[in-house]
A and B are shown apart, each in its own frame.
Chain A
Amino acid sequence: MTASTLEKQPAPRASGAAFILKKATISALVALVLFSLMIGVRTEAGPQGGLIYWTRFGDLAAIVAAVFGGSIVVELLRQWWGPADRVRVVPPVVQNALSLAGRLLAPALLIFTFLVPVIFYDQRYILDLAILVLTYVMLGWGLNVVVGLAGLLDLGYVAFYAVGAYSYALLATNFGLSFWVCLPLAGILAAFWGVLLGFPVLRLRGDYLAIVTLAFGEIIRLVIINWQSLTGGPNGISGIPRPTLFGIPLTPGEDGLAARLGIEFSPTHRIVFLFYLILALALLTNWVTIRLRRLPIGRAWEALREDEVACRALGINTTTTKLTAFATGAMFGGFAGAFFATRQGFISPESFTFQESALVLAIVVLGGMGSQLGVALAALAMIGGFELFRGLDQYRMLVFGIAMVLLMIWRPRGLIGHRAPTVYLERNQAISSDLVKEGHG
């Protein structure tokens, strides 16, 4: 079949200038009504306490004009690109080249990541950003176990991140335990909370599960805010110990790493150390996940996503299977949380809002559910893109929301729309995401 036979043009669309103008005019009118009061009039508490308002018709006109122009551009693009639902056949040559590039991408990316501290040693900003990206890569990979593999929609993943962070912060500040002792503890505690949450909600499906996990995440955050004697409430916990290289602190002091190695101390050492620490944690997450997928438990997770009833008929205990998925995902979230706490040195409930859960979930879904490489790319794109708008400050979340909507419309099944089989006899061929189910829970 050739591309031309498939490009079945639906009923000829009106494509003339008149049609485009009409559409743009309607869009502009809608925008005018929508924004007339919200943008055209600005309210604020006045000096005497009462509300005052002033008009901003200039801004309103600008926005409406932008919608008019934007609508024309979008319509022109749409006609140039053709109907959105058309089947596009990529020539085999291009496909092969793409798949080769895809296979080379992961190792290339990994090597580059290892070299980041070398290349950007003097650029603290880039190192910090890279640490942030890796943190989200790790969170994405952790949540991927729950959402991508087991098909359980979790909107409260940030709760486990918070449990991990507060576990480390509290254990370290109250009992003086070191990071390396706290890290596994934070993971275990988070996994414990994962089971605790998982147990009652196992019977729920789909959106109900999503909303309950969201509620759970909010409960954890509200408890952290209100249980001031333990968590410091909204003020958070500060003075969280920095990690050590197996007991050797990265400080300028005499017993610091720099002094012991006989090199000059630089604060960048700590940053580089943190970078490799989170890289190691993320790679551990990745390695464990890839291993688990090839084990019966991982296959059971995927089977659960595909068809829960069939799983039961095959003698798979769906309860424990779901719980292990929750616990595994939560454990990685807990690790990431402990890392977050030690990196920041300070944590407060503000870092664990629903927005974080949504961000991580967006990374997983945009990555293409279940694809490790896709999640890494999505984390890079989302966090990197988010960073580009740092200067815009209050517009940042607005842009993030718009990006989320557009990305979902553009690629509802994510960047990497294939599933790799876990075992094969002859050919290791990817499975199109159209066949892969997304789970009911």
Chain B
Amino acid sequence: MDYFAQQLINGLVLGSIYGLIAIGYTMVYGIVGMINFAHGDIFMIGGFIALISFLVLVSFGLTAIPLVLFVVLLVSMAITALYGWTVERIAYRPLRHSFRLAPMLSAIGMSFVLTNFSQVAQGARVKPVPPIITGGYTLHEGPAGFVVQLSNIQIIVVLATVVLLALFTWLVSSTRLGRDMRACEQDQTMAALLGVDVDRTISMTFVIGAALAAVAGMMYLLYYGLVDFFMGFVAGIKAFTAAVLGGIGSLPGAMLGGLAIGLIETFWSAYFSVEYKDVAAFSILIVVLIFLPTGLLGRPEVEKV
């Protein structure tokens, strides 16, 4: 039972990170109708920027960790958002009204570019950082000496996710930008005719998605204490699975899907086998798409004849 509780906590934290990435997929898919293959790599870039800015700030003699982390968060969100913007501008915008396969391949190409750019720029080796946020609470001490712990970093990850999700839901439901986004999602031509700047709205979608991915990247860095250039690929597929599981286009769905994938992966590793945890995640993707093609919270699609 204690073991179960501990895995539940771990799973929720991992799921929060997946959920943050999944929002980027779901938004872009909703608005442009394409899988942004490079989004997983944007998450990886976010992790790297967080790492580098942290190192630089610390070496400048800043020691107040909360302040440092806050600055790191802002820097990594800003720069990663610019990466998201640039990717859209270079690789997707010229192909917006093209043949469907072209943007997909362009996205795959962009994913290779980002992965290998980090490898070239920062080396292939894993970058470890010592634990930055330590401490935590012991929730329960079992008779066998097994302790259920909730660490501070876990609290921060979940809190950050909840705050961002709330902020983001507000953004989409109550601001001008959010309204423009929903309009573009329904009908880009009509939105343009009604005075919505479609290009800008799509750019903003990528910017916001990338900023959230940067948060996920930073949380990953803080939680796991490492980043490497290849972490975007698998995380990206899992986050996309989460977005599909939750119902693509649905923001709460993306979060829900993220939590589900995080929990499944954690429990699978804990009770079955660590080696096959990715196989489990991918199998779930296949099973979900077959039996629940519109996801948990997606709208059913009626075939028009």
A positions within 8 Å CB-CB of B: 30, 33-39, 41-45, 49-51, 53, 84, 147, 153, 200-201, 203-204, 206-208, 210-212, 214-216, 218-219, 222-223, 226, 309, 354-355, 358, 361-362, 365, 369, 394-395, 397-398, 400-405, 408-409, 412-413, 438
- B263 to chain A minimum Cβ distance, whole angstroms, is 19
B134 at the interface (CB under 8 A from A): no
Q: Are B82 and A34 in contact (CB under 8 A)?
A: yes
B113 at the interface (CB under 8 A from A): yes
Q: Are B86 and A400 in contact (CB under 8 A)?
A: no
A-B contact pairs, 11 of them (CB 8 A): A38-B122, A41-B52, A43-B122, A211-B35, A211-B240, A212-B286, A358-B112, A401-B112, A405-B113, A408-B91, A413-B99
- B27 to chain A minimum Cβ distance, whole angstroms, is 15
Interface set, chain B 1-40, CB cutoff 8 A to A: 29, 33-35
- A355 to chain B minimum Cβ distance, whole angstroms, is 7
Interface set, chain B 254-283, CB cutoff 8 A to A: 275-276, 278-279, 282-283
In the assembled complex, the Cα of A35 lies from the Cα of B75 at a distance in Å of 13
B167 at the interface (CB under 8 A from A): no
Task: Name 9 extra pairs, CB < 8 A, besides A45-B128, A210-B35, A402-B113.
Answer: A34-B82, A42-B123, A53-B59, A203-B293, A211-B240, A211-B285, A219-B282, A362-B105, A409-B94
Known: A43-B122, A200-B290. A207 touches B35 (CB 8 A): yes
A39 to B, closest residue via Cβ: B121
- A283 to chain B minimum Cβ distance, whole angstroms, is 27
In the assembled complex, the Cα of A69 lies from the Cα of B278 at a distance in Å of 44
Sorted nearest first, the 8 A-B pairs with minimum C-beta distance are A404-B109, A401-B112, A412-B102, A401-B113, A398-B116, A215-B282, A405-B109, A408-B106
Per-residue 0/1 for B224-247: is the Cβ within 8 Å of any A Cβ (1 yes, 0 no)?
000000000100010011001000
B117 at the interface (CB under 8 A from A): yes
Chain A positions within 8 Å of B90 at CB level: 405
Q: Which of B101, B118, B279 contacts A38 (CB 8 A)?
A: B118
Known: A42-B121, A398-B117, A412-B102. A30 touches B86 (CB 8 A): yes
B64 at the interface (CB under 8 A from A): no
Q: Are A51 and B55 in contact (CB under 8 A)?
A: yes
Interface set, chain B 119-175, CB cutoff 8 A to A: 119-130
Contact-residue size bin, chain B (C-beta under 8 Å from the other chain): 35 or more
Tell me if A's interface is mostly helix, strand, loop or mixed: helix
B176 at the interface (CB under 8 A from A): no
In the assembled complex, the Cα of A356 lies from the Cα of B110 at a distance in Å of 16
- B261 to chain A minimum Cβ distance, whole angstroms, is 12
Q: Are B120 and A365 in contact (CB under 8 A)?
A: no
Known: A153-B101, A405-B110. A45 touches B125 (CB 8 A): yes
A-B Cβ contacts below 8 A, count: 191
B115 at the interface (CB under 8 A from A): yes
Chain A positions within 8 Å of B111 at CB level: 401
Give the one of B109, B240, B305 with max A CB within 10 A.
B109
Q: Are A358 and B108 in contact (CB under 8 A)?
A: yes
Tell me if B's interface is mostly helix, strand, loop or mixed: helix
Q: Which of A200, A215, A394, A438 contacts B101 (CB 8 A)?
A: A438
B216 at the interface (CB under 8 A from A): no
Chain B positions within 8 Å of A45 at CB level: 125-128
Q: Are A398 and B52 in contact (CB under 8 A)?
A: no
- B78 to chain A minimum Cβ distance, whole angstroms, is 8
Q: Are B105 and A41 in contact (CB under 8 A)?
A: no
- B88 to chain A minimum Cβ distance, whole angstroms, is 12
Known: A51-B127, A394-B119, A409-B94. A354 touches B233 (CB 8 A): yes
Known: A53-B56, A84-B94. A409 touches B244 (CB 8 A): no
Q: Are A223 and B279 in contact (CB under 8 A)?
A: yes
B83 at the interface (CB under 8 A from A): yes
Chain A positions within 8 Å of B109 at CB level: 362, 400-405, 408
B99 to A, closest residue via Cβ: A412
Q: Are A44 and B289 in contact (CB under 8 A)?
A: no
Known: A41-B56, A51-B55, A408-B106. A218 touches B278 (CB 8 A): yes
Q: Which of B53, B102, B116 contacts A397 (CB 8 A)?
A: B116
- B101 to chain A minimum Cβ distance, whole angstroms, is 5
Q: Are B79 and A37 in contact (CB under 8 A)?
A: yes
Chain B positions within 8 Å of A309 at CB level: 303, 305
- A114 to chain B minimum Cβ distance, whole angstroms, is 32
In the assembled complex, the Cα of A53 lies from the Cα of B83 at a distance in Å of 22
Chain A positions within 8 Å of B83 at CB level: 34
Known: A53-B52, A207-B34, A408-B106. A30 touches B112 (CB 8 A): no
